[in-house]
Homo-oligomer: A and B are copies of this chain.
Amino acid sequence: MATKVVSNLKEAIELAKVTDGMSISFHHHLRNGDHVLNMVMDELAAMGVKNLTVNASAVFDVHAPLIDHIKNGVVTKLCVNYMSKGIGTHICKGIMDTPVEFRSHGQRPADIENGRTPIDVAFIAAPTSDTMGNCTGKMGKSRFGSIGYAMADAMNAKTVIVITDNLVEYPLTCASITEDYVDYVVAVDEIGDPNGIMSGTTAQTRDPVRLRMAQTAVKCIEASGLLKDGMSFQTGAGGATMAAAMYLKDVMLEKGVVGSYIVGGISTASVDLQKAGCFRALQDVQSFDLGAAADLLENPNHIEVSGRRYSSSIGKSSCMNNLDVAMLGATEIDVDFNVNVHTDSNGIIMGGSGGHTDIAEICNMAVVIAPLFRNRLPIVLDHVTTVSTKGENIDVLITESGIAVNPRRQDLKEKFIAAGLNVKDIHELKAMAEKICGVPQPAPKGDKIVGEVFGHWGEHVDYIYSVPDKE
């Protein structure tokens, strides 16, 4: 029998001939429970490899050892779609000579495919793989559901190494990445910690402010005229946006509306809507919880999509092209509707576009749900610290104290007013926040560029600057 299984990670890395200056890649479906990025980087550091580019769809606080690998010259460039604050804080201290490149979930696969960010060796964490590298995230003790973000890596990297903690006999019949793209398979004890895999995305909120905003969001959808048969919907991982899904279900059932699909990160709330008959299908690039992961394996109308098919500009179309309504988050939004999801109010990196900019760019009605203030810091500002998504692509802002509509969408504004919704000018919302919290100081801004933000089409959107040490 042919097999691609090698004895350990070191052997796979040696066979893949990873050398100084190469670009290696990782996916983030294991989120803050991922063990694979650290085990690979530790091995590479021990082997003395230097000057690597790490292209990871996202890095989380669990990946803190990256900081030392950066300081030691093992890693000299990062490309990510999202970076949690534990890593971001160090990056904002200016520890890298080359700015971190921030892409969207759609632009990352495009740049891997078009050669702007070619990958030498891709490391694919797979909850189940057979001996030839047919692998999936849908089964196994570390299952995470859709492996959509890793597909571009597998299909375009020169060398592909699958790392699994559930090696099964050939052929695996539910493979998402297939043997013709895989060079080596490594079996390890654990690719991740199940408690971290589903971290921070699933809890239904009980916060009355968030619930109220969620109810308002559903009223906006009703008023927009989009709540009709065939409607499609995207919701992110935040509490308010997931609560919106819950309220949407009630309204759709009451009105007998059958939508076409929910797309994106798919949660149990999305699965509930589909199973209740509110939507015909789920297009899943990332499963947000174990309920969604289990459903992906069993439900023929719950389908796994690649990042390319999900939201990329390199394809002939994506799931975005038919998207009616999207619920998005924001750490800041300014009076021009520019949204920041990269940095906090102190300018420290604590996130990234993910699909935000892709979704907003293409969908019919992009709705940002955000409170007027958090921790007594206003969210509505004159200028966001970092532009993640350009204001021209945001249609509606929902806060607990009123709804602002982008002047470009006069049509929506009129519909919302006609429906008796609490529409306000965005400057008015800003004034309300400032009345409560005071006028905020702009985030401190150092003079070193530590990050660059790219948009849906690969265009430059903004820079992220170092944050000076507090006096």
Contact = CB atoms under 8 A, between A and B. Distances in A.
A204 interface: no
Among A1, A171, A321, A322, find the residue whose CB has the most chain B CB atoms closer than 10 A. Answer: A171
Contact of A321 (B2, B174, B308, B312): B2
Contact of A133 (B1, B281, B308, B317): B317
A316 interface: yes
Contacts of A169: 230, 260
Contacts of A301: 173
A181 B315 contact: yes
Given A178-B309, A180-B308, A173 B281 contact: yes
A170 B132 contact: no
A178 B182 CA distance: 21
Interface in A207-256: 230
Contact of A132 (B178, B179, B305, B322): B322
A173 B300 CA distance: 7
A308 B182 CA distance: 13
Among A169, A179, A318, A319, find the residue whose CB has the most chain B CB atoms closer than 10 A. Answer: A179
Contact of A316 (B179, B314, B315, B318): B179
Contacts of A312: 180
A313 to B, nearest CB: 10
Contacts of A230: 1, 169
A317 B132 contact: yes
A283 interface: yes
A16 to B, nearest CB: 12
Interface string A316-346: 1111011000000000000000000000000
A373 interface: no
Contacts of A160: 316
Nearest to A314: B180
Nearest to A229: B169
Contacts of A2: 317, 321-322
Among A1, A180, A183, find the residue whose CB has the most chain B CB atoms closer than 10 A. Answer: A180
Interface in A158-176: 160, 169-171, 173-175
Nearest to A308: B180
Interface in A252-285: 260-261, 280-281, 283
A261 B179 contact: no
A93 interface: no
A230 B180 CA distance: 20
A303 interface: yes
26 contacts: A1-B230, A2-B317, A2-B321, A4-B316, A132-B317, A160-B316, A169-B230, A170-B322, A171-B280, A171-B281, A171-B283, A173-B280, A173-B281, A173-B301, A173-B303, A174-B300, A179-B309, A179-B315, A179-B321, A180-B306, A180-B309, A180-B312, A180-B315, A180-B318, A181-B316, A182-B317
